[in-house]
Amino acid sequence: MISEDSAAVRPPVLRPGDTVLLVSPSGPTSPERVARGMELLTGWGLRPVPAPNAYARHGYLAGTDDLRAADLNAAFADPQVRGVICTRGGYGAQRIVDAIDMAAVRRDPKVVAGFSDITALQFALWRGARLAGVHGPGAAWRDERTALRSAESLHAALMTTEPVSITAVPTEETFGVRVPGRATGTLLGGNLCMIAASIGTPDLPDLTGAVLLIEDVQEPPYKVDRMLTHLRRAGALDGLAGVAVGQFTDCGDGWDTTIVDVLTERLGDLGVPVLGGLPIGHGPNQLTVPVGTKATLDTTTAT
Tens digit of pLDDT for each residue in 266-276?
999 999 999 99
Please report which confidence band the pLDDT of residue 57 belongs to, taking 50, 70 and 90 as the band edges.
Answer: very high
pLDDT over threshold 80, residue 84:
yes
From the candidates 24, 116, 150, 153, give the one annotated as an active-site residue: 116
CA–CA dist 112, 160 (Å, integer): 15
**CA distances (Å), origin 31, targets 62, 64, 65:** 13, 18, 20
Quick one: pLDDT at residue 2? 61
Is 282 a known active-site residue? yes
From the candidates 150, 153, 155, 215, give the one annotated as an active-site residue: 215
From the candidates 26, 135, 172, 282, give the one annotated as an active-site residue: 282
Amino acid identity at 36 = R
| Predicted TM-score (pTM) of this structure | 0.96
Is 152 a known active-site residue? no
Helix (H, G, I), strand (E, B) or coil at 290: strand
Helix (H, G, I), strand (E, B) or coil at 217: strand
Q: Which helix (H) or strand (E) covers residue 76, if one does?
A: helix 65-77
Quick one: pLDDT at residue 253? 74
**Domains, in order of start, for the chain:** 19-159 (3.40.50.10740), 178-298 (3.50.30.60)
Mean pLDDT of 30-50: 97
Mean pLDDT of 70-94: 98
pLDDT over threshold 70, residue 3:
no
pLDDT over threshold 60, residue 1:
no
**CA distances (Å), origin 67, targets 25, 44, 60, 163:** 9, 29, 14, 36
Please report which confidence band the pLDDT of residue 255 belongs to, taking 50, 70 and 90 as the band edges.
Answer: confident
Is 58 a known active-site residue? no
Quick one: pLDDT at residue 6? 75
Helix (H, G, I), strand (E, B) or coil at 187: strand
